Structure 1
């Protein structure tokens, strides 16, 4: 890909640095509809990057064409406000598409906030050019929107699981399943090449937790005291070890078994 990504921050200044999409592992996500040797038609996709500092919020700009966002680096948290209630919907990691709700005709107000420094790619699709490219290509690949459907379907499935966790699972298996899901998503980062495995993260059972314990509690519908107690209990039983903002699962089989406690609780009722 020879499209250049212009590095911009939210106040409109443009740093001198630039990066070609050909040097970014995210091209497999952003340009999934094209083969390795294909180049997007002119104006098919316009691409810019927003740089966010810690706790800075992602500002959505009005675009003439459908637009989606890909997290290039760092971690974001998304929060939905309903009246006076504020709930953290999810945490997002490099290599994932985010803000798919903006494609809805009347999207809800979801706030994305950086956890540490982040970079977000803004990908704007020009439907007319996409159609023209498909007609001119003898070996047209699946349309770009197919990826969005897949991502939206995955997001819906994930949120349905989280609803069940919050509604029907006790605190411990709810917490364990969150950690297991986080681990799975972070391993996907490494496979995609968005995160270089460190001495620790290359080992299967290390989990990065850049968010605060308070954020985890809000996301899971638990109290901060409960999250702290669960971590302390798991640590005392030597099932996990905590190193700063990394969690090491020392006993993987015992750890995963705790996520199945729902069946035990159900049998007691």
Structure 2
């Protein structure tokens, strides 16, 4: 169940994530298009797979997960969302959402209707560029996801995931050394394609090697160098450029 709230004056300028979703130059153009601001509780669903695409959303606070249903009917988590993320871009493909979005904690979301967004993009090249950046970011996340599943062992997947979380928090002005996990270990295991027992065993192993410390849902990175070394960056650096080239070509094709 969501709670409707009336946006205060200068909603975007007073947002702690101002500049994360849209560039500072575009905020004054986007802000009048923000028609609602809602608060959702943990486990609330923002939209479900197959639902009509009629808006994009900006995660103002909290966190959420994207998931799709496998042929077996089981949930497969494809991405975690953090404050400042644009949500719902998958709907541009065929007019309906391919994924479901569920909140991991109490979260707030801003909504921009599709009609308002179309007009904003028609009148502003910079906003169109901003949206393409959002799509590019989503494609890059997809490449990282496939890299983890197909080219990393279990230990590398978990280490890469922890470093990615650290980077996400740092980008938002928070500590990248000590942070709380909003997702459960079951969610982490699902996302990384591992058994929950494997996640628990590897976390314990990283603690025993004094690379991280874990207390309940709080993670502290003790040794970044060791954590980075465990990922064999040589492999990742050879794969990502090709992924980025494919990503750029996909965006150019869509624009054309």
The more displaced of 17-26 and 248-257 is: 17-26
Q: Which residue of 1 aligns with 2:198?
A: 226
Work out the CA distance in 1 between the residues paired with 2:89 and 2:121: 19
Work out the CA distance in 2 between the residues paired with 1:40 and 1:150: 15
Work out the CA distance in 2 between the residues paired with 1:239 and 1:215: 22
Residues 161 and 31 of structure 1: is their aligned pair in 2 closer, same or farther, counting only changes over 3 Å? closer
Q: 2:26 touches 2:127 (CA, 8 Å); kept in 1?
A: no
Work out the CA distance in 2 between the residues paired with 1:88 and 1:242: 23
Give the alignment partner of residue 151 of structure 1, picking from 134, 143, 157: 134
Q: Which residue of 2 aligns with 1:137?
A: none
| 1:71 positional shift | 0.3
Residues 234 and 149 of structure 1: is their aligned pair in 2 closer, same or farther, counting only changes over 3 Å? same
Q: 2:4 touches 2:38 (CA, 8 Å); kept in 1?
A: no
Residues 244 and 99 of structure 1: is their aligned pair in 2 closer, same or farther, counting only changes over 3 Å? same
**Equivalent runs, 1:104-253 vs 2, <5 Å:** 104-124=93-113, 125-128=116-119, 131=122, 134=123, 142-190=125-173, 197=174, 201=175, 204-253=176-225
Note the aligned Cα RMSD (angstroms).
2.8
The more displaced of 254-263 and 141-150 is: 254-263
Q: 1:240 touches 1:249 (CA, 8 Å); kept in 2?
A: yes
| 1:33 positional shift | 7.5
Highest Rg: 1 or 2?
A: 1
Work out the CA distance in 2 between the residues paired with 1:262 and 1:233: 23
Give the alignment partner of residue 87 of structure 2, picking from 88, 98, 101: 98
Q: Which residue of 1 aligns with 2:23?
A: 32
Residues 16 and 39 of structure 1: is their aligned pair in 2 closer, same or farther, counting only changes over 3 Å? closer
Q: Which residue of 1 aligns with 2:228?
A: 256
Provide the secondary structure at the position in 1 that maps to 2:150: helix
Work out the CA distance in 2 between the residues paired with 1:40 and 1:255: 40
TM-score relative to the length of structure 2: 0.78
Provide the secondary structure at the position in 2 that maps to 1:87: strand
**Equivalent runs, 1:60-75 vs 2, <5 Å:** 67-75=55-63
| 1:240 positional shift | 1.0
**Structure 1 residue 77 corresponds to structure 2 residue 68:** no
Residues 243 and 81 of structure 1: is their aligned pair in 2 closer, same or farther, counting only changes over 3 Å? same
Q: 1:205 touches 1:249 (CA, 8 Å); kept in 2?
A: yes
Work out the CA distance in 2 between the residues paired with 1:261 and 1:16: 47
Provide the secondary structure at the position in 2 that maps to 1:151: helix
Residues 54 and 35 of structure 1: is their aligned pair in 2 closer, same or farther, counting only changes over 3 Å? closer
| 1:226 positional shift | 0.3
Q: 1:53 touches 1:116 (CA, 8 Å); kept in 2?
A: yes
Q: Which residue of 1 aligns with 2:36?
A: 48
Provide the secondary structure at the position in 2 that maps to 1:210: coil
TM-score relative to the length of structure 1: 0.75
Residues 167 and 253 of structure 1: is their aligned pair in 2 closer, same or farther, counting only changes over 3 Å? same
In structure 2, stretches of 5+ residues that fail to align are 236-256
